[in-house]
Amino acid sequence: MSTKYHGNENAACEAHEPNFLQCVEEFFDIAAKASGVKKSMVNTIRGVDAILSVTFPIEREDGETEIVRAYRAEHSRHKLPVKGGIRYAEDVDMQEVEALASLMTYKCAVVDVPFGGAKGGVAINPRKYTVGELERITRRFALELCQKNFLGPGVDVPAPDVNTGGREMTWMMDTYRQLNPTDINAAGCITGKPINQGGVRGRTEATGLGVYYSTREFLKYEDVQKVTGLTGEIEGKTVSLQGFGNVAFYAAKFFVANGAKVVAVADSRFSVLNQNGLDIEKLGEYKAEHGSLEGYPDGEVVAGSTKALEVECDILVPSALERQIGLKNVHNIKAKIINEGANGPITPAAHEILVQKGVVVVPDLLANAGGVCVSYFEWLKNVSHVRFGRMNRKWEEQGKERLLALVEEQAGRKLSDGERQTVIHGAEEHELVYSGLEDTMIKACEETRVTANEFGNIDYRTAAIANAIRKIASCLEGTGVMFSSRG
């Protein structure tokens, strides 16, 4: 479908392999059979609740008028608000948006985030527009969403995605706020905002951190160690990442910080290989300065991004786009664990081959759920109107001070100022966010492992989706589906 990553469609997928939406539906159907949920309920869960496709004119700075097309899909409203990012890309279309909205529903269920799933897209290349033009496009799309009741803190909560960030999210939030001046929860209509606009500390690195946590947890499981032959710690493992955007950059940083070695990284056009390990900070600085990894001096640079998928490594993190591993290249994969930092990077046929080979696949709806988890924390912060840690940080420090005084008295030794501060330090907002994310990922990984074993050693993707189906079905059965258009 997408050709944004150089040559990857022809390199990865046979012509008969399903498109992205069909891949998601095929994985869902396999898991639905294993879940034990009755067919009528499965059909209710599978479909998309609401789709919005709009076109609107914007005036370019040269005076010309251009028509822009944009999409929003709300897959499931079994819990509100629904949540999902907005990506700006020329080739975004409705089937991609529906697929990503469906994945978001299952992702929220797997990690127990009480949101339904949604996704949006604006069919433009943002690099072809000035900042002023981008603002007009973003605000007009936000206006369309508001008018159709697709935007609001209790309805639909968009977040940044490809080619969008805090700036675009602020424009959308401000548009909603201008149209709803009495809504005191207006900041909660959008997540992924800058800190000074109600964002939460830790959101930027959240998805990459979730990739690290999920990999770490699966490595601890004896059944994973038995299949892969790997030891149970991150230290000493070799890692390759396809993609070098936000997710891959932060995932790589956390892997390296915990003793792993990154031996390959790819952006949309080039792969950089170095079996001695890459300096991620230096690589990031080079990419920011030059716009690509071409010419990077401290590694072998190879044209195309697919080489990073095929290097010898313990852990592979495809974190670029969907359908990057298909029947054409699946037999070239040498990794022992694949953690899907991107959504839908492996086709169903390729996934089956990998599982049969004994490759452990940590699926996208679990592996990259860190972003939605911390978006949930941001939403909680916005609707509660208080920064995490504000009410209890000093109380924690005072309690630790009293306990420390007793310890020092019994030990007969005073701690230095540095030692004292380390012991009594109360949690800051980003530390609480990290803690909440880590706890969430540990629980979701363990649930997935237990379900895989319960069903007779099915693969982890099937187990994760089956868990999601069970949870959503339980919610719908409790509330009823009398207003469902598919009931």
Q: Which residues are catalytic?
A: 119
Residue found under tokens 């170095």:
274
Spatial CA neighbour of 463 closest among 371, 360, 347, 363? 363
Q: Are 65 and 306 in contact (CB under 8 A)?
A: no
Spatial CA neighbour of 349 closest among 23, 8, 5? 23
Q: From the CB of residue 450, how many other CB atoms can be counted at a distance below 10 Å?
A: 12
**Token reading at 380:** 């909680």
Rg (CA), the chain: 23
Q: Are 115 and 108 in contact (CB under 8 A)?
A: yes
CA angle 54, 55, 58 (to 5 degrees): 135
**Residues near 272 by Cβ (< 8 Å), separated by ≥ 6?**
264, 265, 266, 278, 283, 293, 296, 299, 300, 301, 302
Dist. CA 141–CA 344, nearest whole Å: 26
Q: From the CB of residue 202, how many other CB atoms can be counted at a distance below 10 Å?
A: 23
* 317 phi and psi angles, rounded to 5 deg: -120, 90
Quick one: 247 exposed, middle or buried, by C-beta within 10 A (0-12, 13-18, 19+)? buried
DSSP calls for 151-220: -BTTTEEEEE-TT--HHHHHHHHHHHHHH-TT-TTGGGG--S--GGGT--TTSTTHHHHHHHHHHHHHHH
User: Which amino acid is present at 118?
Assistant: A
Which helix (H) or strand (E) segment holds residue 273: the answer is strand 270-273
Which helix (H) or strand (E) segment holds residue 271: the answer is strand 270-273
Q: From residue 487, how far is each of 21, 40, 230 by CA, in Å?
A: 22, 8, 47
